[in-house]
């Protein structure tokens, strides 16, 4: 991305699952970067080999600031100790991040409504998941209300939260086994058209390289 790890001011931890925290404690210790996480997530991490003395406890619904950015954490439905999504607000720009959630609660819809930039999970295609190689108990977990959003779920949520100010959408946490980028794009772009915002730009995110980098004027 062209940024130095030493220039990072903070790491926001959404929940304790391995794919979201691997490397966080090492980076925190090596570069003296504080980790912002809630008490439930910290307690869950302490049961493993997670080590970091540089933690800042946060709580869903209680805003805090990192530099000139206001961070608003909010609870999301997912099978973790106390998972969070985040709003980041700077000037007149509002960002929304919700990348591990199984359903859209009233709180989620309220926090993500009218974001200028949205990072939203589009994890799987329902039929690909049902007919794919995962064990049945894993399929049940992913499909549950505390699992992961499908392309269709993400599209339904988009139609409820998109407003004219919404400019950018990043589709995140896509399964390499149970999804195809073109399917995720199709459902999200269709939802944007039905929400009367066909001009919002949609980007993919990747597991092995950075996505597009967007610069927004505050």
**Confidence check: pLDDT of 86 > 80:** yes
How does pLDDT run across 138-164, given as a tens digit for each residue? Answer: 999 999 999 999 999 999 999 999 999
Domain boundaries, the chain: 92-218
Residue 146: its pLDDT value, please?
A: 98
How does pLDDT run across 19-62, given as a tens digit for each residue? Answer: 889 899 999 999 999 999 999 999 999 888 788 789 999 999 99
**Confidence check: pLDDT of 132 > 80:** yes
Banded pLDDT at 177 (limits 50, 70, 90): very high
Instruction: List CB contacts of 91: < 8 A, sequence separation 6 or more.
Output: 218
How is 25-51 classified by DSSP, letter by letter? HHHHHHHTPPEEEEHHHHHHHHTTT--
Banded pLDDT at 178 (limits 50, 70, 90): very high
Residue 53: its pLDDT value, please?
A: 80
Q: Cα 216 from chain centroid?
A: 19
CA distance 124 to 117: 22
Residue 188: its pLDDT value, please?
A: 97
User: Which stretches does DSSP call E strand in the chain?
Assistant: 11-12, 35-38, 55-58, 64-66, 69-75, 84-90, 93-98, 117-121, 168-172, 201-204
The encoded tokens of residue 69 equal 């950015």
CA distance 87 to 161: 14
**Confidence check: pLDDT of 198 > 90:** no
How is 109-131 classified by DSSP, letter by letter? HHHHTT-SEEEEE--B-HHHHHT
CA distance 38 to 165: 31
Task: Output the average pLDDT for the chain.
Answer: 95
**Confidence check: pLDDT of 1 > 90:** no
Instruction: List CB contacts of 7: < 8 A, sequence separation 6 or more.
Output: none
Name the percent of the chain lying above pLDDT 90: 89
Residues in the chain: 218
**Confidence check: pLDDT of 212 > 90:** yes
**Confidence check: pLDDT of 207 > 90:** no
Residue 174: its pLDDT value, please?
A: 96
Residue 42: its pLDDT value, please?
A: 95
**Confidence check: pLDDT of 217 > 90:** no
Q: What is the mean pLDDT of residues 58-69?
A: 97
Q: Is the dihedral of CA 176, 182, 183, 186 positive or negative?
A: positive
């Amino acid at each position: 991305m062209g940024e130095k790890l030493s220039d990072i001011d903070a790491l926001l931890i959404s929940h304790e699952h391995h794919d979201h925290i691997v490397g966080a404690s090492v980076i925190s210790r090596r570069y003296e970067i504080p980790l912002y996480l809630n008490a439930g997530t910290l307690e869950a991490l302490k049961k493993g080999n997670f080590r970091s003395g540089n933690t800042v406890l946060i709580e869903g619904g209680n805003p805090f600031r990192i530099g000139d950015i206001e961070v608003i954490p909010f609870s999301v439905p997912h099978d973790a100790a106390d998972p969070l999504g985040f709003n980041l607000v700077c000037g007149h720009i509002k960002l929304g991040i919700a990348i591990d959630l199984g359903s859209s609660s009233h709180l989620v819809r309220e926090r993500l409504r009218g974001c200028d930039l949205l990072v939203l999970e589009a994890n799987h295609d329902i039929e690909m998941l049902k007919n794919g190689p995962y064990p049945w108990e894993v399929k049940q977990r992913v499909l549950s209300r505390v699992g992961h959003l499908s392309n269709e779920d993400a599209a339904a949520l988009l139609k409820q939260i998109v407003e004219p100010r919404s400019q950018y959408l990043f589709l995140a946490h896509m399964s390499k086994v149970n999804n195809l980028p073109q399917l995720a794009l199709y459902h999200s772009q269709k939802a944007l058209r039905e929400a009367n915002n066909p001009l919002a730009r949609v980007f993919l995110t990747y597991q092995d390289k950075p996505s597009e980098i967007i610069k927004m004027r505050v």
